[in-house]
């Protein structure tokens, strides 16, 4: 291991050695050039695979809860007994690949991969992708706090700098703009479903219904209500199998924050200055040009 995650030196004393693949930085814990290259070039997508794909901090773990509850027809026992990363393995990491390969199909899988590093085999399959997008302003705020507590990310020097890095596409997992643009090219494909964090927040019930329809899963009203109830922010906070409190302390320092931090829309307004907001808008408009999609946050 060159990642130094088990190093006794205090946090911040040593810069994090990110793994680089195809010009994109990845956090070192669990990722390697080999695991990423395997995911990209060799991983075999099955026709019945269901992929949960996101840019970090967009609602990945929330979608994991929703999808595993749908799989269980609303019954929460699987979600309460099994760690989220075992229910929906991160197949582009070492550990995740092992569980993905031994997962009885149909598999539920997770990743933050941009479209151009996603398994090549996917293009010739009818595997399904669920892509969750979140207001990038809230993403950057959530990512900032997450980077402070997660030891495989460099400690942000300031919010100002972190925001600059985000806008320049220099944070781990690459540029949000490229991620969203790359995946949204699939928006009309039958095996692609995109939803926003904001829609999940606004109406989880109908979001779950739409997801069920896309997945061909027939859930009655009670089952949908149980999915909604068990995937709520509070229910997730109470479930150690998804709140991340079980992650080892040398990966996630629980004294520095909470993974399930606020779970709201619009927290960016408490963090951005007027100047930062204007810069953001300008770059956003420029980078999103030509993408014929209107997200909920575009109307404000
Ligand atoms: P905040 O930091 O804004 O609170 P990811 O899983 O992609 O890393 O995203 C984490 C973000 O999703 C965090 O955002 C977290 O609180 C939020 N989240 C997770 N579960 C949620 C839920 N049930 N309802 C609302 N937000 C949720």
pLDDT tops 70 at residue 121: yes
The structure tokens 């150690």 sit at 240
Strand partners, 130: 52, 193
For residue range 201-253, list pLDDT tens digits in order. Answer: 999 999 999 999 999 999 999 999 999 999 999 999 999 999 888 888 888 88
Q: How many CA atoms lie within 13 A of 104 on its CB side?
A: 0
pLDDT tops 80 at residue 300: no
Ligand 1 proximity of 57 Cβ (cutoff 6 Å): yes
Q: Which residue has a Cα nearest atom 10 of ligand 1?
A: 57
Q: What is the pLDDT of residue 58?
A: 98
Q: Which residue has a Cα nearest atom 5 of ligand 1?
A: 57
Q: Which of 106-115, 120-129, 236-245, 264-273 has the lowest mean pLDDT?
A: 236-245
Test site for ligand 1: of 204, 227, 263, most ligand atoms within 8 A of the Cβ: 263
Closest atom of ligand 1 to 262 CA is: 4
Q: Which residue has a Cα nearest atom 24 of ligand 1?
A: 233
For residue range 142-194, list pLDDT tens digits in order. Answer: 999 999 999 999 999 999 999 999 999 999 999 999 999 999 999 999 999 99
Q: How many angstroms separate the Cα of 121 from the Cα of each of 18, 39, 88, 106, 214?
A: 26, 10, 19, 16, 21
- Count other Cβ atoms within 10 Å, centred on residue 199: 17
Q: Helices 136-149 and 159-167 sit at what angle, rounded to 10 degrees?
A: 120
- Span 124-142, average pLDDT: 98
Ligand 1 proximity of 148 Cβ (cutoff 6 Å): no
Q: Which residue has a Cα nearest atom 14 of ligand 1?
A: 263
Q: Cα(269) to centroid of ligand 1, in Å?
A: 17
Strands 19-21 and 24-26: antiparallel
Q: Cα(173) to centroid of ligand 1, in Å?
A: 17
**ipTM, 2 dp:** 0.99
Query: In 3D, which of 289, 252, 225 has the Cα closest to residue 149?
Result: 252
Q: Cα–Cα distance between 114 and 107 in angstroms, integer?
A: 20
The DSSP string of 224-274 is: HHHHHHHTSHHHHHH-TTTSSTTS-TTTB-GGG--SS----S-GGGGT--H
Q: Which residue has a Cα nearest atom 25 of ligand 1?
A: 263
Are 225 and 205 in contact by the 8 Å Cβ rule? The answer is yes
Q: Cα(121) to centroid of ligand 1, in Å?
A: 30
pLDDT tops 60 at residue 5: no
The set of catalytic residues is: 112
Q: What is the pLDDT of residue 8?
A: 43
Closest atom of ligand 1 to 233 CA is: 23
**Run of H or E residues at 62:** helix 60-71
SS3 letters across 245-259: CCCCCCCECHHHCCC
Q: What is the pLDDT of residue 251?
A: 85
| pTM of this structure | 0.94
Q: Cα–Cα distance between 218 and 240 in angstroms, integer?
A: 28
For residue range 76-95, list pLDDT tens digits in order. Answer: 999 999 999 999 999 999 98
């Amino acid at each position: 291991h060159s990642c130094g995650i088990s190093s006794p030196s205090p946090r911040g004393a040593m810069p994090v050695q990110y793994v680089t693949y195809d010009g994109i930085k990845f956090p070192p814990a669990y990722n390697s050039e080999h695991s990423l290259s395997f995911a990209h070039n060799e991983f075999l997508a099955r026709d019945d695979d269901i992929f949960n794909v996101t840019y970090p901090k967009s609602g990945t773990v929330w979608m994991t809860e929703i999808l595993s509850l749908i799989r269980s027809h609303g019954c929460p026992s699987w979600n309460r007994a099994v760690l989220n990363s075992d229910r929906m393995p991160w197949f582009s990491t070492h550990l995740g690949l092992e569980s993905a390969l031994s997962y009885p199909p149909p598999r539920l899988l997770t990743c933050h991969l941009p479209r151009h590093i996603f398994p090549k085999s996917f293009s010739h399959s009818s595997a399904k992708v669920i892509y969750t997008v979140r207001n990038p302003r809230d993403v950057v705020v959530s990512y900032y706090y997450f980077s402070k507590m997660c030891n495989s990310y460099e400690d942000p020097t300031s919010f100002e700098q972190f925001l600059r890095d985000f806008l320049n596409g220099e944070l781990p997992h690459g540029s949000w703009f490229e991620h969203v643009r790359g995946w949204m090219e699939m928006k009309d494909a039958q095996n692609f479903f995109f939803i926003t964090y904001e829609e999940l927040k606004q109406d989880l019930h109908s979001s779950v219904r739409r997801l069920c329809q896309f997945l061909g899963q027939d859930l009655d009203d009670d089952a949908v209500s149980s999915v909604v109830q068990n995937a709520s922010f509070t229910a997730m906070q109470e479930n150690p199998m998804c709140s991340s409190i079980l992650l080892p302390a040398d990966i996630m320092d629980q004294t520095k924050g909470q993974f399930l931090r606020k779970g709201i829309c619009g927290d960016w307004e408490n963090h951005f200055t007027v100047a930062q907001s204007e810069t953001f808008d300008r770059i956003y408009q420029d980078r999103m040009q030509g993408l014929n999609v209107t997200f909920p946050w575009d109307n404000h």
